[in-house]
Amino acid sequence: MIIGGRSIARMVPPTQSGPITRLVGTLDIDGKGTDHPLDQCDPFILLDQAVIPKSDLPPFGAHPHRGHSVVTVLLQGKMKSWDSFGAGGSEGTVIKGPASYWVDAGSGVFHDETTIVDDPADPLQHINLFQLWVGVKEEDRLKPAALQYDIDLPVRELWDEANDSVVGSARYFVGGGGKIQTPHPITVAQVTQHPGKTLQFPIESTHGGFIVHMEGCASYGKEAKEPTTLKNAVHVLADTSNEMENYITVSTSNAADGSDTKYLVCVGEKIQEPWCKKLVANGAIIAKTEDEARDIASNVEKYAKSGLEGGSFSPFGTAK
C-alpha cells in the first residue's frame, strides 16, 4: 500500500510542569516560564494538557491576555469562565464538557477560569482539558476582546473511501461547521479511530500544526516507520509545497482489547509574523516587539480586575 499526504517533521515528547503537561511553549523575553523543545508551531504558540481532580483550580485569579487567541478544549468536566468585558455577568459562565470556549484577547482582557468538581472521588467529574494559544496577525492584536462558547460540538463520521467503510469519528472543538468563529482558519478536532484502520484526515497543504497522540497505537504521516504509543507525544507537520498533499494519513494498530485510538488534530493558517511574549500577573502579553511587550506589561499592573470601560485594558487603544 502506498501512503501519501503530509509528512511528519518530528515527534516531540511532553514536558511535565507540576500538574500541567506542556506540549508546546517557550520562555518569555525575560527567561520566565517553562522551557520546552517545541517552542512554537505556526500558528500555535502554546499547548497545555491537564487532568484536574479538585474544584477552584488553577488559583491564578483574574489574569491578563493580550495579542493572541486562547481556546480551551474541555474534554470532560465543568469549568467556570469569567472575563472583564462582561460575558456571563459578574459570576461568569459555567460550561460542561465536551465543549470549547474561545477568547480573542485582542488589545487586552482580564480572564479567569476555575474548575468545578462536586465529588472529587468520582473520576468522571475530574476535568480533562487542553488549552491552546493561537497566534494572530498584528491587525487582530489591536481589536477589542471577544468570547465564544460551543457546547453543541459537531461530530462527523470518518470514512475510508477506498473500502467504503466508517473508520471512526471526529469531534470538532473548532472548525468542522461548529459555532466558533476564528480570525483565520483553524481546526481543532479530537479523532477517535477504530483499530486496524487507515484514514486520510483532510488538512490544507498550506496549513501548519501538529497531531497530539492521546491513547492507543497509531502511525502518523506518509513516512511513518514506527507506531506511536506515547501519551501526549506531539507530531509536527512538515511543510509542503505540493498542493495535492492536503491530508495526513493515520494508520492504527489492532489492539488486543479492540480499543480505539484517540488523537487531537490542531492545524491552521500560518500567521508568518513576528511576536514576543512577556509574562505578567499570571498572564501573558503578546506583541510584535520586545519593547512593546514590556510597555504593555507595565501598564497591565495599573488596572483592576474590572478592567477599563468595555472590559479591555487596551493600553494602546483598539483598531478603528
Phi, psi of 228 (to 5 degrees): -105, 135
Q: How confident is the model over 245-255, as a mean pLDDT? A: 92
**DSSP-assigned beta bridge partners for residue 94:** 80
Q: How confident is the model over 107-118, as a mean pLDDT? A: 90
Between the alpha carbon of residue 239 and those of residues 111, 164, 196, 203, 204, the distances in Å are: 34, 30, 28, 12, 11
Mean pLDDT, the chain, whole residue set: 89
Encode the chain in three state secondary structure: CCCCCCCEEEEECCEEECCEEEEECCCCCCCCCCCCCCCCECCEEEEEEEEECCCCCCCCCCEEEECEEEEEEEEECEEEEEECCCCCHHHCEEEECCEEEEEECCCCEEEEEEEECCCCCCHHHCEEEEEEEEECCHHHHCCCCEEEEECCCCEEEEEECCCCEEEEEEEEEECCCCCCCCCCCEEEEEEEECCCCEEEEECCCCEEEEEEEEECCEEECCCCCCCECCCCEEEEECCCCCCCCCEEEEEECCCCCCCCEEEEEEEEECCCCCCEEEEECCEEEEECCHHHHHHHHHHHCCCCCCCCCCCCCCCCCCCC
What burial class does residue 207 get, using C-beta atoms within 10 Å of its C-beta: 0-12 exposed, 13-18 middle, 19+ buried?
buried
> What's the pLDDT tens digit per position in 15-67?
887 778 999 998 999 999 888 899 999 999 999 999 999 998 887 777 889 99
- Does the pLDDT at position 320 exceed 50? no
Verdict on whether the full-model pTM lies above 0.85: yes
Terminal Cα distance for the chain, rounded: 55
Residue with cell 477589542: 144
Q: Per-residue confidence at 310, pLDDT binned at 50, 70, 90?
A: very low
C-alpha 104/C-alpha 148 separation (Å) is: 9
- Does the pLDDT at position 242 exceed 70? yes
- Does the pLDDT at position 313 exceed 70? no
- The residue among 191 and 283 whose pLDDT is bigger is 191
- Does the pLDDT at position 307 exceed 90? no
Q: Looking at residue 98, what is its pLDDT?
A: 98
Q: Per-residue confidence at 160, pLDDT binned at 50, 70, 90?
A: confident
Q: Looking at residue 255, what is its pLDDT?
A: 79
Q: How confident is the model over 287-297, as a mean pLDDT? A: 94
